[in-house]
Amino acid sequence: VAYLTATSTTATSTFAGGLDLTSSTGMGLNFGSNTLFYQNNQRFLTSSTTAAGNLSFGYEAAPNINENGGLYSTYLGYQAGFTATSSRYNTGTGYQSLYSIVRGSGLYGDQNTANGHRSLYLNTTGYQNSAFGADALRSNTTGYQNSALGVQSLYSNTSGYNNIALGKNTLY
C-alpha cells in the first residue's frame, strides 16, 4: 500500500487498502529516518533515527526541533520542549516541561532533565539541571547545575547555580 486513506473521522476510523502488521514475512510499518506525525495540522510525534536522534511525543511537543542543531533530546507530553530548536541532550517529560528551552553558546540550554508538570518551565539557557516533581525549578531561566526533587522545589530560582533541594517546597 503506497498510502492509507481515512474513510471516517470517528475514533474507529477505517482505512482503505488494509494493513497487516502480523505478517510472517516481517512486513510492518517502515517510516523514513525523520518521520513527523500530525493531527489537525499540529505535530504530535517526531521520530528521528538520523544522527540527530530526537524523539517527541505529545500535542505540540518540541514542534520546531531542528535536526541540524537539536541533538539527542526527548520530549514527552503536551507542549514539552515547546520552544526547542537546537538545544541538545535534554529530556522533558510532562505537561509543558522544559517549555521555554533554547540554546546559547557552549553548554547553555543543554543537558537538562525535567520530569513533572511544568518542571523547568521557564528555563531558557540554563544547563545541566535536574528537576523532578510538578513545578520543580519552574522559574529557572539561566541557572545551572541545580537539582530539585519534590513538588515546587527550587520554584523561584531564576539564575542560581549548584543548588540541591529535596522535598516539597524546599528552597521555594
| Span 14-50, pLDDT tens digits | 444 444 455 555 555 556 666 677 767 776 677 665 6
**β strands within 19-82, DSSP E:** 34-39, 42-48, 55-57, 74-76
Rounded Cα gap, residues 147 and 166, in angstroms? 8
Q: Is the confidence at residue 51, as pLDDT, over 60?
A: no
Which single residue is written with the C-alpha cell 517510516? 31
| Span 154-166, pLDDT tens digits | 999 999 999 999 9
Rounded Cα gap, residues 45 and 112, in angstroms? 21
CB 58 within 8 A of CB 79: yes
- Cell output for 46: 517526531
pLDDT at 13: 41
Q: Is the confidence at residue 12, as pLDDT, over 50?
A: no
Closest CA to 4 of 26, 29, 25: 29
| Span 82-130, pLDDT tens digits | 999 888 999 999 999 999 999 888 889 999 999 999 999 999 999 999 9
